Amino acid sequence: MRTTVGIIGAGPAGLLLARLLHNAGIDSVVLESRDRAYVEQRQRAGILEQGTVDVLRAAGAGERMDREGLRHDGIELRFARRRHRVDFPALTGGSSVMVYAQTEVCKDLIALQLKEGGPLLFEAEALAVEDATTDRPKVRFRHEGREEVLECDYVVGCDGFWGVSRKAVPAELSRVFERTYPFGWLGILADVAPSHDELVYARHERGFALLSMRSPAVSRLYLQVPDGTDAEEWADEQIWDELERRFETADGWTLARGPITSKSVTPMRSYVHEPMRHGRLFLAGDAAHIVPPTGAKGLNLAVGDVVTFARALTHERETGSSERLDAYSETCLRRVWQAERFSYEMTTLLHRAPDATPFDDRIQLARLERLTTSRAAETDLADGYTGFPLE
C-alpha cells in the first residue's frame, strides 16, 4: 500500500489532518488501532478554541458543531466565596470558545472521511515507523490478522503518548521536559442540567473544582483529589457534597444534583518532547506534548500541529520549497510552550498543593485579586484561554 501521507491515529488530530489534506488534493491513509465504536465513544476534551472552531468550519466539518455546540463568551472564577466573570469577546476583540465534545468532533470527521476521503482503516495497529530519514518512510502495521506495510512520502504520528511514532525518534536526539503534579481530577458525568451557563473555575482551601457541561442536559464536573485516588472510593453523595462546598458563594448560588452516570480520575502532568520532527516523521498532539487539563489546551494544540503540517506540505507542493516543513518543529513548539505556560499558570493559580503554606495561599489569592482588578491581567487570561494564533 502506498500514499503521500501516512497518518497514525484516528483521533481528532489525525482525522482533521486527513480532511485538510483531502481538501488540498493530497492523498493520505489513516491507521487506527481501535474500532470505530471506541473512537466515537472515548471521552476526552470538550472545549474548542476560536481557532479550532474556525478551522473545522473552513474544513467543512462545522455544520453539526454550529447547530449543537454551545458557544461560550466567558468563564467564571470563584474564590473566597466571590464570583467574577471573564468576558472573552470584550477582552479579545470578539473571540469565544465552543463546548463540543471530542467524541462529536470525531464522529463528524469520520463521516466525512468515509464519504469523501482516502482510506481509513480501523483495527489497524501500527507496529513501527521505519526509514524515517529516507525519502521513503514506511509504517508496518497489522490489519485483519496480516502484517502489512504502508509506504509514504511523509508519516504523521497522531497516535498519542503511548503510540509507536515517538519511539522512532532516536533517544540520543530526544529531549524531554516534564512535570508531574501531586493531585488529579475526579471527573463525573451527571444527568442534570448545568447549574451555570458558562464554565466555573473555583479555588477553595479544600481544593479546586470545575463546573462544565457536555450538553444542556448533561453536566461535567471535576474535583481536585490526591494523586492515586480511586474514583470508586467516592460515593455519589460524597462527591456532590464536596462540589457544593467548593462552589459555595456568598450570594446563595446553588448546585443542582442528579444521577451520576460515570466517574473517573485523570492524572495531571505537563510533558514536551523535542524535536517534533525526525526526518520525514512528524509528531502531533499527545505524541509530542501533554498539558494538564486546567487550560483546556490538549485537543486545540493537536489541531494547531496538524494545521501547521498541512499548510507546510501544501506550500511545498505549490512552491517546491520545503522551508515550512523544515521549520515544523520550531513553529509548533513556539505555540506548545505558550500553551504549557498558560496551563501551568492556571493549574498553580487554582489548585492547592498538598504542602501549601499560609504564604502560598495568600499568594494564590493575590494572583486572583490581580486578575479580577486588572484589565491587562484579565486580557492575558482571555487571550490564552481562547487560543494562541495558528502560525
pLDDT < 70 regions, the chain: 43
State the sign of the Cα–Cα–Cα–Cα dihedral 180, 52, 29, 326.
negative
Q: Same structural domain for residues 132 and 9? A: yes
- The residue range of the domain holding 274 is 5-72+97-177+269-346
pTM of the model: 0.95
Domains: count for the chain: 2
Q: Same structural domain for residues 114 and 38? A: yes
Residue pair 130/149 in contact (Cβ under 8 Å)? The answer is no
Residue pair 105/12 in contact (Cβ under 8 Å)? The answer is yes
C-alpha cell at 211: 463546573
Q: Is residue 391 part of a domain?
A: no
Q: Same structural domain for residues 15 and 119? A: yes
Residue pair 10/102 in contact (Cβ under 8 Å)? The answer is no
108 membership: H or E segment, kind and range:
helix 102-116
Q: How many helices (H) and strands (E) does the chain have?
A: 12, 20
List, in sequence order, every beta strand (DSSP E) within the chain.
5-8, 28-31, 47-48, 70-72, 74-79, 82-87, 97-99, 120-121, 124-130, 138-143, 146-151, 154-157, 175-190, 199-202, 209-215, 218-226, 260-274, 277-278, 281-283, 289-290
DSSP string, 119-161: -EETTEEEEEEE-TTSSS-EEEEEETTEEEEEE-SEEEE-S-T
Supply the pLDDT for residue 129: 98
Q: Same structural domain for residues 47 and 122? A: yes
Q: Same structural domain for residues 16 and 155? A: yes
Q: Is residue 85 part of a domain?
A: no
Q: How far does CA 77 lie from the centroid of its chain?
A: 21
Helix (H, G, I), strand (E, B) or coil at 77: strand
> pLDDT digits over 27-48, tens only?
999 999 999 999 998 767 789 9
Q: Is residue 297 part of a domain?
A: yes
Q: Same structural domain for residues 135 and 207? A: no
Q: Same structural domain for residues 37 and 117? A: yes
Q: Is residue 238 part of a domain?
A: yes
Q: Same structural domain for residues 319 and 231? A: no
Q: Same structural domain for residues 125 and 214? A: no
Q: Is residue 87 part of a domain?
A: no
Strand partners, 132: none
C-alpha angle 286-2-58 in degrees, rounded to nearest 5: 50
- Residues identified as active-site: 72, 201, 293, 297, 385
Q: Same structural domain for residues 128 and 249? A: no
Q: Same structural domain for residues 255 and 309? A: no
Pairing of strands 5-8, 154-157: parallel
Supply the CATH number for residue 379's domain. Answer: 3.30.9.10
Q: Same structural domain for residues 19 and 144? A: yes
